[in-house]
Structure 1
Amino acid sequence: MSEDAVAEQVRAACLTSGFFYLANHGIDEDLSRAVFEANRRFHERPLADKQLIKLNHWHRGYQGFGTSKLVSSARFASAATANQLESFFLRHEVPSGDPDYLTGALKGPNQWPDDEAFRDVVSRYDVAVRDVAMKLLPVFGLAVGEDRDFFLPYFQRPSTALRLIHYPPAADDQPTGS
């Protein structure tokens, strides 16, 4: 299918249902399975281990169960209860010599558990997902009626994030959060 045809499908989906599902994106299925397994193993670790890398100033690391809550939004009311999940955040890292390193918003170092296999698979998945997103930029440019390179200048310094989420089993009477 041509890039123009894909752009038209993306445009139609966004104007009708408001979302689309990306299939045949090229991310290796073994890598996808491995990152889901790594996520499961991370969240099975003892809480004390996960808290060693609790969310830092640059919003990277472990976010504990029930510690996030939708406060306000232009479209949604504030949540009555905290989100019933825990997660691990990582973001695109800038080199330590970059002027924004440690001073720019969200420009600090990632935090990792003491597990090289976890770091390896999650890092490879993060790069793979970012690569797919960058390949979609021309499609989005065409979908909004602009040149295929329209969005490229805005992504020279990406601010990507990957969040590995775990939803523990909930009792039937447990609040659902936001």
Structure 2
Amino acid sequence: MTATTLPIIDIGPYLDPAASAEQRQAVSRALDKACREHGFFYLVNHGVPQDLCDRVRAQGHQFFQLPEEEKRKHKVAGNFRGYKHFKDIIIRGRASLNEAIAFYPPVNCYSDGIAQGVDPTSPSATLPTMPDALGSQNSWPSDEFRAATEEYRDLVLKLGDRVLSAIAAGLGIGDSFRDWLLDPTWSIRFNGYPSLTGTDTEKAGDVSLGAHVDYACITILNQDPESASLQVMSKSGEWHKVQPLPGAFVVNTGKMLSLWTCNQYPARLHRVVHRDEKPRVSVATFIDPRFNAVIGPLPELAVPGEEPIKYTPKTFGSHLVDQLRIYSAMQQKQVS
């Protein structure tokens, strides 16, 4: 299997107030091409300190090395937040050979308890007293783990905002995406992968995490640099390794951005096959629309001459909860 050659995008001009309009336009054009042709790219000069990236992954390694009974203490109600054991992660009806712990913000309310533009007397108004739609809250392994993760999260969310601004400029739509991404529904998922050898390979169908696409607008991946375990499917249907690039994030487009752009930006299939002697940790930050944003194809991005995408507008929260129901049904089928 060959290693894929992904575009390398220098986001520096979008972080530098002194950068010229021409420099920013060059970044936007490069991003637009990468999203259309690959759906994956390396992001460099991103402004997130390398020592912080390393420290966050180190927290993940420490957590996944704990005894199973200790890790299971961080399993919480709902299928979003908390610890996921190998048997809890089902991809296309097959259990995975990785474990995870995930963190989401509270999504029951916003600063004033009601989403923007919603009549407070209407049934759709979400009040602070409503239960969180995603279940129980985050379970942090330690104060140190939480402090490092939240410091990292704040910087990555600022970076994601700049990346999406550059993408919007490349699409020629300015900041019309702002309504979607005002107070985004971020999530951070720590993934732990043991070595995949021998009989484990047969059990998992030769993969650690099965082929899937992300639901997010974009995913920003911070991964261990030692092994090329991430694989991306090419347009021709072949799997290619993604070699870690020192100091770079790997970024990919997801189904929300594909929907938003009327499928001009594809959500690429990817998987993980980890066969290194050392365990692997990756930290994926998913950036989604705000929970009460009404999502759907943007009319200004409709492709001339093509049939409009048939999609019933719904809030992102409804979409996310629908996915939870589908995922839960798959798990129940697997158990039975």
Interval of TM-score (by shorter of Structure 1 and Structure 2): 0.7 to 0.9
The one-letter code matched in structure 2 to 1:92 is P
- Point out the structure with the larger strand share: 2
Name the structure 2 match of 1:75: none
Name the structure 2 match of 1:141: 168
Which deviations, in whole Å up to 9, do the C-alpha atoms of 1:138-177 show, x marking residues without a partner?
1111122211x12111111311111000001122332225
CA 28–101 in structure 1, closer or farther in 2 if over 3 Å, else same: farther
Contact map agreement 2:100 2:192 (CA 8 A) in 1: yes
C-alpha distance in 2 between matches for 1:101 and 1:40: 37
TM-score by length of structure 2 reads 0.46
TM-score by length of structure 1 reads 0.83
Q: Aligned pair 1:129/2:150, yes or no? A: no
Between the aligned residues of both structures, percent identity stands at 26
Structure 2: runs of 5 or more not aligned: 1-12, 14-22, 114-126, 211-336
Contact map agreement 2:89 2:95 (CA 8 A) in 1: yes
The one-letter code matched in structure 2 to 1:3 is R
Q: How many residues align?
A: 168
The one-letter code matched in structure 2 to 1:163 is R
Contact map agreement 2:28 2:170 (CA 8 A) in 1: yes
Structure 1: runs of 5 or more not aligned: 71-77
Structure showing greater radius of gyration is: 2
| Structure showing greater relative contact order (alpha-carbon pairs closer than 8 Å, 6 or more residues apart) | 1
Q: Aligned pair 1:120/2:120, yes or no? A: no
Name the structure 2 match of 1:169: 195
Q: Secondary structure at the match of 1:146?
A: coil
Quote the RMSD (CA, aligned, Å).
2.3
Q: Secondary structure at the match of 1:20?
A: strand
C-alpha distance in 1 between matches for 2:110 and 2:192: 31
Match of 2:95 among 77, 82, 98: 82
Moved over 6 A (4+): none
Cα offset, 1:124, TM superposition: 1.1
